[in-house]
Structure 1
C-alpha cells in the first residue's frame, strides 16, 4: 500500500542531503580558487631591466609562448629559461641600436618591410581560405598507402661492429689476436680509437647502403653471415676491422609508421589544388590586361649572305 507520508519523508531527506552536498561543493570550489589565487605568479614582476627599460614576467612569458612546439624542450628548465632571457636581452639591445642608427627610415628597410607585409597578408589569406577547409580521412590515407607501397619500401640494412686503429701495423696486431680467438668486443673497447667504442664495443647500429663511408660500406656489405669478420679496411679515419652483427632484409614500412607522413602529403596536394582553383576564380572575376608584345621573342635579323669569291681572271 502506498504511504504518502513515507514518500514525503524520503523527499525531505533527499533535499537535505542535496543541500549538504551543495554546501560541500561550494566550500571546495572556494578553497580551490583561493589556492589558485595564492599560487598564481605576479605577472607584473620584473624579470630584467636594460637601462631602466623593464621586461615584465608577462612579457617574458609571451615571448616563451612564441617558441615553436618542437623547440620548447630547450626552455623547459629554469636554466633554459635563463638562457632564453639572455637572447631576449641581446635582441632588445640590437633593436635599440638599429633605431639609433635610423635603420627604419632607410629605403632598403622600407622596401623589405613592404615585401614582408605583402607575404604575411598572402599567408594569412591562404590560411583563412584554404587550410581550414582541408580534411583527410583515414580511408584516403589507407587507399594511398595500398596504391603506393613501393614508396615506402625499406632497403636492406646491416648492423656492424668495428675496431678502428690508427696504423695498419696496429690493425694487423689486433687482427692476429682475433684469429687466436680473443673477444672482438673486448678488443674494441680496449684498442679502438673510436670514442664511442668504450661503451658500445664498436657497434654502430643498422644502416642501409649509401649511409656509411664508401670503403667501409663496400666491405661491410660483402660479409654474408652474422659473426663474419672482414680484413683490414682503410678509410680516411684509419684502419678498420669489421664484424657483421645483424641483417634486416628489404621490407615495407607499416601503415602506422607512415600514416602521418601520408596525411601531410595528401593535405599538401589538396591545398595545392584548392590554391589553383582559388587563383583561377580570382582571375576570372578580375579584369586583367597584359601587353603580350613585350614578351614576344625578337626575330634574329637576317644576316647578309657572304659574297662568293670572285673567279680568278684568266
Structure 2
C-alpha cells in the first residue's frame, strides 16, 4: 500500500475547528465593542448634566450653576464675540476673492498711528487681538477703495500738511488702580510688592469702573495724551516696563497706582512709507457712506447662530 500526504489545501480536523470558531470570535469581539461604546454613550450625557449642574457660586445659600453662568455670558458677550469672528472670516474670504494681501509692515504702521492718535482704543486688547482686528479692517478698506482713484499730488499735499501725524512719540502701555484714600493706595502697593496680580487687584479694588473691568488697562499713553488725568500721564512716562509707580494724587483728590506693561519707542515715517495708507484714507473719504463687513455676508454665504 502506498501512503501519501494529504494535499496542503485540505484542512485537518483541528484546522476545521479553528475555521469554525473564527466567526464566533469575531462576533463576540463586535458585541464587546458595541457594549463598551454603549456604556460610554450612557455615561457622557450624565457627565454633561453633572457639569451643567456644577455650582460656581452661591448667594444666601442659593446656588448659581455653571449652566446659568454660561448662559449669562453668552447673552452678555456671545453675540458680539461671534459677530467679530464671522466678520474676520468674511474678510479673509473677501481677500482671497479679490486677491488682496495685508503685510505685517502695514499692520505695524496702522498700530503705530492708532497708538499715537488714540491709545485708549487699545484698552482691554492684547497685541495679537489688536493685530487681528487691524488685519480685517485693512482688508475691508482695500476692498472698498480698490477702484477709487486718488491723485498723487493730493497724497503728497496731505502728507506735507500733516507731517506731525507720522512722527510717533514714545508710548507706555498703562494700567491704573484708583482708590479713595492714600491708605488704600499704600495697601495696594504692599500687596503688589508681595506678588499680587495688578490685573486682579484692579478688578477688586479700583473705583474707576471703566478700567477696573479691564484689569486697570487704559491703553497707550504719550506726552500728547489729553483724555487721561495729568498725574497718571506723568507717572506712566516715568515708570519703567514691568514696574509700578509710587502712590499718586489725581485731580479729583483720589489716589492711584500706575503699572506699565510695555514701552514702545518713537518712530518717524517717510512719505513713501505712508503713501498707500494716505491714499486709502483719502479714497475712503470719497465713498458716499461707510460700509461694514456685514455688507459682504450675502456674497460669501455667511450664516450664524442669531439668524440672518
TM over 0.5: no
Q: Which has the higher contact order (CA 8 A, sep 6+)?
A: 2
**Structure with the greater alpha carbon radius of gyration:** 1
User: TM-score band (shorter)?
Assistant: 0.3 to 0.5
TM-score, normalisation: structure 2? 0.37
Structure-1-length-normalised TM-score: 0.36
